[in-house]
Structure 1
Amino acid sequence: MTTTAPPADTPTDALTATPFVAVTMGDGAGVGPEVVVGALVQPEIAALCRPVVIGDAQRLRAAAEILGVDAEIVPVESVEDAVFAPGRVNVIDLGLLPADLPWGKLSPVAGHAAYEYIRVASELAMEGRVQAICTAPLNKEALHAGGHVFPGHTELLAHLTGTEEVSMMLNSPRIRVIHVTTHIGLIDAVAKIEPGLVERTVRRGHEALQRAGIPAPRIAVCGINPHAGENGLFGYGEEEEKIVPAIERLQADGIDARGPLPADTVFFVAGRGDYDLVVAMYHDQGHGPVKVLGIEAGVNITVGLPVIRTSVDHGTAFDIAGTGKVEVGSMVEALRQAAQMAPSPGA
């Protein structure tokens, strides 16, 4: 992999106007170190933001060697100490991983380290020292084994920032999906869905799309049952009870939300451009179509936090970790979207 330097005549004030992004390394036994290094040496990233990794310098150097990337991994004490130059990767080095940590094997040590990376990044964001967080994947089992029982990044970030309720949005080249419920069982998800939660989820998605430059988002809201219940034929009236009242309130406020719509067709029409956002009622209803339509370029955005947070839309990929085979496109896109949505420093 080769890189080219940004134009030499790029004004200094143009760089200082770009946001600082805290990039968490994720689970060090997975592909996180590789996707971080591989993405940060891309010239387009240098023009968009000022990334600072929260992770382990030694592991990043190992990843650079595996990828065959000529990258200078430089530990820094703080975001403010970072210097940005072609091929340089700044890292706040927490030094939590042993040098002999195996690639591709579940590790409680790596799980705890991944938690600490997120904790430090959250503190930096809440202090206003970075304008966004971009996360490499963690492993939920390793996170739990390391003593931190959270379903995933979304819930962990909500806890660390003191946020009561957030939503997961998946953004792919063809469709965007926001979830009313995520990491709970299907029976629990149906029980949890209620008009207030549906309404708040749609409003968070509407606001996020407006911030991303879509002034009047067209939003499709999925039903829960097959064919969205088909007028009571399937289910027990969940659509009328749990979804319709929310849509009526949203429409009364001028939000273009339509539904409940059958999930087996709505993703097709959204993919051809009829809708800007699909509201999925539960995890697999939304994740399946997004991953079929392009997981490599997908981005996970946590909506509702007091800070911008984006992530790759793939896991730790233990089966290829440490081999140099991982694609970095999703991380590049996650950084691009973090930079796009983040406020300017001092704003």
Structure 2
Amino acid sequence: MMSFDVERAVRRSLKRAGQFKFHRDHRAQAGRVLQCLEKKNGKADPENLKLADTYARDVFGSAIYAPWLRVYTVFSGTFKEGWIPDNYYGSVVVPSMKGSYGKLSDLKSMSRLIFGSDAFPDIAYFANGLFFTDERIVIPAREFESFVFGQCDRIVFKLDGSGQGKGVHIFDKGNFDRETIRSLGNGVIQKFIAQHHAFDAFASKPVATLRFTTVVDDAGRISIRACFFRLGRANDTHVQSDHDICVPVDLTTGELARQGYMNDWGATEMHPDSGVRFSGVKIPAFSQCVAMVLDLHQKIPFARCIGWDVTVDADENVQVMEWNGEHNDVKFSEATQGPCFSDLKWERLRVI
């Protein structure tokens, strides 16, 4: 019994340490964003910041949730009730509303098995020492290269647990080496998507993506709460979160906002490399994208908030590049389109 008590105490201690680091890192990140915003826009109204601090304590129970509320406030120029701090979302909402179900999104080879959809551009998998087809049939290692490049000329390998553009590797016949795949670890091989020409106009190399956020409410209804368009830089091989451009998307019309935002949250009305403006651009096949993510979320409603990375290919087919069932980012959507979740009463949840 004593051994069990000690083990439980150690687990609690490790959890507290992890939570401390999590909130410390978020405070630091939010602080950097706040500095950038105030440098560009001037000092924030102290009364608005006071409202954010009070709301963090009174509604969420702690001042540790104030930093992101301050960012949203300075970004918007006013305070809005109903905002969800990103660290509250990660530490309280994610474990309460997803449990272990969201973690399935880390396992890239499971997507087609879960969703049964050809919208995922998967063509093969590497898992635990074996190569598989997209139908989970083992491929002899010596035949793997011919199998993959018999379907396309360029592939993307994404590691399990990868996100934010990290753990992504692009190969063609000239630089492919299956031993490199083995050394990298488990993951999915997807065909490299030829994106829609409307996306090419901004940046032709990295495939632009739409990030949709869908939720399941207490009545089981699934809805879209936010959407933004992510663009890479001209010389990127793929979109990477440390220097992408994010543009809010109107949920009704699929039209881009007049302004997008750089990694430092600085506003821009055009892509910094191509000079193509965002205003007036409508996402092709937007209604099909909306229908796709709503349908897919019905397959795994146990994870009650999901981030979907979707694109539209050259033939106007919707392609689902990946889904994020864990801590999908809500801070950009909350600042630009929020409050996105105020009717869901997430502020009533408590730490698990």
Q: TM-score, normalised by structure 1?
A: 0.29
Q: TM-score, normalised by structure 2?
A: 0.28
Higher relative contact order (CA 8 A, sep 6+): 1
